[in-house]
Structure 1
């Protein structure tokens, strides 16, 4: 597979190279199939950080590996780079050609210890991207080249591709937990009380508060093994991983923020939570109660109104159901309202994402007052937790999800995150239990039994 097109790629590289100046060159080719998780695992043998994105509903994978070609700090830098890039891509399939994997902080933080390797914003183009659609597989090679180093570049690329495409059996040792610690649970419950009191006497309507759990293991955690467990257990979620330095941010989130494909925008309003039932009858009863619960419906409506209010500025033909439906996941069920619209000329996904973040489901209402409460009172260093994470391509397609149900792996340690929406009638014990349920997807992926 690789040998068949390397000669053509070498000619393309030589023709694209500019003397005395490095140029972003991108080559995409349809290939035979490879397990995307194996491609990700093989990437650990190469220099550079890895990226993983999987949407089960779309049967779509994006996996980035190899040396970082461009590491940008804003969508404007990405747009500038793409304007001058030289691209060979006969497919023009969404997610092929130059792709930037992106993520950013929830909000500005003074303390940067846990998340020291993760910048406030990141748009990264890796050397290699594997794209799997429902029908086909594609490999994209991205390089910064000049005419003086084409021969060396081709040799290195061929060696790296052979490493990434190597066929082997993925094995992993069981994850042995040595320590589990809930971080300041009583302090967090007291913070819930403080938030409800503040909501009752001010114009703050809702604030989302998060907490963390720290786990320690006998051996270094392998991101590929955790991803495999998430894919097996969280089949209705967006599964992601981003490496920076020695750390890997990983999770399975049910909540899409914005997807743009062929000029159509899709988003999800997700807010309002209940557990799953032990059997079909109890599950249906819990779901019915969730649909009829005034607190959860009010919380959900906040999210719908905020999201649609922003989207109307940039789109036409907004499609909005009359009311929410149930999104049933393995451990939880949520109130869910899907939204779609036609994006206007000149509007970009990142522009909409930046205005939407954080939605009331992740920050609160009013937005600025909720964010100020979080910054002043929440002891957690959120980093990228709860923020948009995803990808964009050079054809103005892209997808972002809200990075919840997640954890930060670093060596033998994992720090997990979970949050909940607090309104005037919130009960600290019930909110604590809700966050405990939200830890379960990552606990299960780390093979931790409660």
Structure 2
């Protein structure tokens, strides 16, 4: 671990931060310019930003600790005037972290401009090395849709079914209880994709999810890894999925079958236990519901549990995210064995998929979701890699898991369509 006294990355020039109350600017994502966009939006509220006043990137098993120490150093040296003092006002950074300890791409970004809204209160934050005037806010040029084609042939689909079958064999041999396997599908266009187009569609069509974008990684996740606000810790666990039929009466029956499914309940139980165990050292007065509820999304339904607790000791949302990652919902059980199996048989680099993505404030509060229902813009911007994963247990059927992964690809896939 590096020394903040001697490491040049900790020679941080103080930032000057100014937050002002503003009139409601309308849809937040419509304010984003055509480059440098950052977003974290839920139900119309949230944060968007652009520009880069500072950033920090790191690779390795210590990436969370290093990023947290860099952020604390930067926050302690900042000069802040905040007229709002709400979660997300003042100094904030957007972030994305890789699933694997060994992959490149973990990043914290402090924008030059942030626009936020929460419970009807709107604000504008400017961040820089000097005092700057507040920019005029207006809707940016409309994002233009482009035609895309999916690269997902029968051979790749058959290979993934075989990988799932291998995992089932390893589970039935008592090597582990559960593993979460992911697959990727590329969407290819003839020209660069304007990420504001899928962002806007995702925010509109999945308002109960958290729509995000950091450094080309974007999506709309239904799963809150951890929220820290005023000492209250919350984590939403999703595990166990069924595809919606489009018929309300049929979907009620499907929801009931999901709630009774031994396979899905087993998968969910592992995920909840892993989150509760990870949060327990940092929390007191924890509440872990005995039974999950069914979360209804436009394309799928999930078994869901909200785990809550009161912070026992000093910690940041980022350090809590580090303690939780990877949970059983994205890795498996036991976690170490599951991650090793993922590296052995999955056959792809997850990058930031299933890693923490979100934001952190100067006081350490913040929100970190799990980078699900997500994609990464590649190369010259004309290729986007979509990701989806499924929890595999002893009763898993490869063809069913492939169908479930197809359902989980729907949000981002359809958001790219013109």
User: How does the TM-score come out when normalised to structure 1?
Assistant: 0.84
Q: Retained in 1: the 8 A contact 2:39–2:211?
A: yes
SS in 2 for 1:166: coil
What is the rounded CA distance, in whole Å, between the counterparts of 2:129 and 2:338 in structure 1?
A: 43
- Is the aligned partner of 1:447 residue 2:417? yes
Q: SS of 1:23's equivalent?
A: coil
Aligned with residue 30 of structure 2, among 22, 35, 38: 38
Of residues 159, 170, 175, the one that matches 2:146 is 175
Distance (whole Å) between structure 2 residues aligned to residue 320 and residue 23 of structure 1: 42
Q: Deviations over 1:257-280 (max 9, x none)?
A: 100111111111110000113322
Which shifted more, 135-144 or 342-351?
Answer: 342-351
Name 1:189's counterpart in structure 2: 161
Structure 1: distance between partners of 2:55 and 2:98: 19
- What's the offset of the Cα at 1:43? 5.4
Aligned 8 A contact 2:316 2:365 in 1:
no
Mapping of 1:44-59 within 5 angstroms?
A: 44=35, 49-56=36-43, 59=44
Q: Deviations over 1:157-197 (max 9, x none)?
A: 56xx24xx2345x5344431245334822221111111111
Residue 340 (structure 1) shift: 1.6
Deviations 1:378-425 (A, max 9, x none): 111100001110001012220011001111124221111011011122
Show the counterpart of 1:349: 317
Q: Is the counterpart of residue 241 in structure 1 residue 228 in structure 2?
A: no
Are 2:15 and 1:24 aligned?
Answer: yes
Q: Which residue matches 2:383?
A: 413
Counterparts of 1:251 and 1:287, CA distance in 2 = 25
Q: For residues 235 and 124 of structure 2, what CA distance do their matches in structure 1 show?
A: 28
Shift of 1:441: 0.6
Task: Choose the corresponding residue for 2:112, options 127, 138, 141.
Answer: 127
Q: Which residue of 2 aligns with 1:329?
A: 297
1:61 aligned to which of 46, 50, 54: 46
Moved more, 369-378 or 288-297: 369-378
- Number of residues of Structure 1 aligned to a counterpart in Structure 2: 396
Q: Provide structure 1 residue ranges, at least 5 long, that are not aligned to the other structure.
A: 1-19, 111-118, 146-152
Determine if the alignment matches structure 1 residue 226 to structure 2 residue 198: yes
RMSD: 2.0
Unaligned runs of 5+ in 2: 1-10, 59-66
Paired residue secondary structure (2:298): coil
Selected match of 1:299 from 262, 267, 270: 267
In 1, distance between residues paired with 2:127 and 2:156? 45
The match for 2:84 among 72, 87, 91 is 91
- The alpha carbon displacement at 1:426 in A equals 1.3
Q: Deviations over 1:225-261 (max 9, x none)?
A: 1111112211221100112xxxx11101110110011
Do residues 106 (structure 1) and 99 (structure 2) align? yes
Moved over 4 A (4+): none
Question: Counterpart of 1:250 in 2: which secondary structure?
Answer: strand
| CA gap 1:43/1:67 in 2 versus in 1, 3 angstroms | farther
TM-score (normalizing by structure 2): 0.90
Q: How far apart in 1 are the matches of 2:164 and 2:195?
A: 33
> Aligned pair 1:261/2:248, yes or no?
no
Counterpart of 1:433 in 2: which secondary structure? helix
Distance 1:172 1:62 in 2: 19
